[in-house]
Amino acid sequence: MILALDAGNTNICVGCIDENGPLMTARVATDRMKTEDEYAVILGSILQMNRIRPEEITGAIISSVVPPINRMLMLAAEMVIGKTPILIRPGIRTGLKLMVDNPDALGSDRIVDTVAAYHLYGKAAGKTAIVVDMGTMTTLSVVSKNQEFLGGIICPGIRISQRALAQNTSQLPSISLEAPAHAIGKNTVECMKSGAIFATAATVDGLIRRISRELGEDEPPLVILTGGMSKRIAPYCREKVIVDSDLLLKGLWILYQKNAPAKRRQER
C-alpha cells in the first residue's frame, strides 16, 4: 500500500492505494500558506481516521500542479510515513511518448491521467483514449493506442466560470451546481444552473466529436471522465463516456511501480 497525493489548485486528494485499487480517499483544501508541519498533522489525522498505520505504507508519490507547495507536501509525507516520496516531474518514467512542443511544461495531472487511461482502458481495447478531467480547470488529454500523448484542450472549469459570472455582474448570484429540471430556465438561478450543467455537457460532447474528427481513426476513441465534477456532468453527455473518479490515483499507483526505488535498482 502506498500514499498518493494529488495536489490541485483547489483541493488535495489524499489516497491510499494498492494493486486492487484505492483503499481510502479524502480531500483537503489546497493552502499555500500551510507549513510542512501543518500538512503532516492533516495527513496523520486522515490516516488515523481511516485506521491506517504509517508503518503499513511502503512508499508515497505526489502529483502537483501547485509548485509552491511541493516541498511542504514532500516533507510532510516523509514526516508521516518515514519514506521519501516520488514527485511527478520531468524525467520520471512514464512510458509515454510526449508529442507536444514543450514536454517539461506539461501538467503532471495530465501525464498521470493519460498513463492510467492507456493502461486501464486504451491498451486492452487497442483504441485512442480521451481523458476529460473536470476540476478547477477542465482538461481534455489524448493518448493514442501507441502510448503517445498527442496533446489536448484546456478550458475554464465550471466553478471558475460560475464564479466569474457572480463576481463580474451586478445581478447574478452564486449558485449550487446541480442540474435543473429543464434546459429552459424560468428564473435566473434555473438559467444559470442550465448553463453550468447542460452547457458544460454540450461542450464536452462537442470537443469529443471535434477531437474524434481530427484524429480520423476508424474506431471512435474511448472517453474517460474524471475529476470532482465528472459524476454531475456525465449523465447529461450524449457521447458515450466512462466515469472513473479515481483515475488519477490509479495512475499514481502505476507510476509508482515504474519509479519505485527498488524497481530503479533492479534496472541498473
pLDDT recorded at residue 267: 44
Pairing verdict, β 86-87 and 97-98:
unpaired
Say whether 13 counts as a known binding-site residue: yes
Say whether 9 counts as a known binding-site residue: yes
131-165 confidence digits (pLDDT tens): 999 988 999 999 999 999 999 999 999 989 988 98
CATH 3.30.420.40 assigned to 97-251: yes
Cβ neighbours of residue 124 under 8 Å, at least 6 residues apart? none
| Banded pLDDT at 175 (limits 50, 70, 90) | confident
On whether the CB atoms of residues 128 and 142 are closer than 8 A, the answer is yes
Say whether 133 counts as a known binding-site residue: yes
Which triple of cell numbers denotes residue 144? 493514442
The CATH superfamily label for domain 2-87 reads ATPase, nucleotide binding domain (3.30.420.40)
116-139 confidence digits (pLDDT tens): 999 999 999 999 999 999 988 999
- Residues 180, 165: Cα–Cα separation, whole Å: 18
- Residues 192, 174: Cα–Cα separation, whole Å: 9
Sorted by where each begins, the domain ranges of the chain are 2-87, 97-251
Say whether 20 counts as a known binding-site residue: no
- From 101, 109, 244, 246, active-site residue: 109
The counts of H helices and E strands in the chain are 9, 11
| Banded pLDDT at 69 (limits 50, 70, 90) | very high
| 31 belongs to the catalytic site | no
Q: Partners of 143 in the beta sheet? A: 129, 149
